[in-house]
Amino acid sequence: MMYPNGGGYANAGLSSMEMAAVEWLDGFYSLEHLLCARMWVMKLCPEAPLEVRFAALVHDSERHFPGGPSSTPSNGFDDPDYLFAHSTRSADFVEEWLRNRSPALDNGFIQRVRRLVLRHEIGGGWDADFVQAADSLSFLETLDWLTVDWVRSGRYTIEQAREKLDFTVERIRPSVAIAAALPLYERAVRTLESAHDTTIDLQKRREIASSRRLLLGLPLGPEESKAPIR
Ligand SMILES: [Fe+2]
């Protein structure tokens, strides 16, 4: 495959509303992370209702839009001021998007999605615990390159970035998700610890992680590079 990390969601079976949300968030460096979180919630909890799947898909949406709190806080990753500001802003964006796109959409659905997005960092209730776990698993699986980027750019030391990986794995509650997270955590730690030596092309990795077309295996637009990554 030309794009080893691309096209992985070509068979994701997105509903029309989910596809529209992916279009809304096209270009967001966490788009791959969002698609992966949705996949994890379906794997962990195949019977989960639509709002759980949809909340997983849009839970970090606010980071795509300028003006939010820094996603690299200086008070630690478990800082409630940051986590609550991020979750509330995401829930507001998602609610506004849903109401604008589908004025006749069931208000109960919107409220259930809103509650899950608000709780995606802290869990609480079986459904929010699964969204939080899916977020965590997806971070470990798809955003290890971001921790390398933090180190390479001087934002954090390796030890400080490691705290994000520790925080991410330690907050998981469902035992089935803890078991799934451990090998991903070990791999992410190895990637981070090689931050100064790795040959990851961070720019290309970010391009793939952000591109709806690359992730869904759609025909490429003129703006997308056709060079393979390593
Ligand atoms: Fe997330």
Contact between 199 and 20 (Cβ < 8 Å): no
User: What domain range includes position 118?
Assistant: 17-215
Asked if residue 230 has pLDDT above 50, the reply is no
What tokens appear for 195 in the block? 């931050």
Residue 93 covered by a domain: yes
Asked if residue 105 has pLDDT above 60, the reply is yes
Contact between 86 and 68 (Cβ < 8 Å): yes
Contact between 163 and 77 (Cβ < 8 Å): yes
Query: 59: CA distance to ligand 1 center in Å?
Result: 6
Query: 40: CA distance to ligand 1 center in Å?
Result: 12
Residue 23 covered by a domain: yes
Residue found by looking up tokens 């992410």 in the block: 188
User: Looking at residue 1, what is its pLDDT?
Assistant: 34
Query: 117: CA distance to ligand 1 center in Å?
Result: 10
Residue 1 covered by a domain: no
Contact between 226 and 220 (Cβ < 8 Å): yes
**pLDDT tens, 129-185?**
999 999 999 999 999 999 999 999 999 999 999 999 999 999 999 999 999 999 999
d(CA 111, CA 105): 11
d(CA 228, CA 38): 26
pTM given for the model: 0.93
Ramachandran category for residue 43: left, alpha or beta (phi over 0 → left; psi -120 to 50 → alpha): alpha
User: Looking at residue 223, what is its pLDDT?
Assistant: 64
User: What confidence category does residue 220 fall into, taking pLDDT thresholds of 50, 70 and 90?
Assistant: confident
Query: 163: CA distance to ligand 1 center in Å?
Result: 16
Query: 132: CA distance to ligand 1 center in Å?
Result: 8
| CATH assignment of the domain containing 69 | 1.10.3210
Domain count across the chain = 1
d(CA 80, CA 16): 34
User: Looking at residue 73, what is its pLDDT?
Assistant: 86
Residue 9 covered by a domain: no
Query: 138: CA distance to ligand 1 center in Å?
Result: 7
Query: 136: CA distance to ligand 1 center in Å?
Result: 7
> How far from chain centre, in Å, is Cα 42?
14
Residue 57 covered by a domain: yes
Query: 34: CA distance to ligand 1 center in Å?
Result: 7
Residue 7 covered by a domain: no
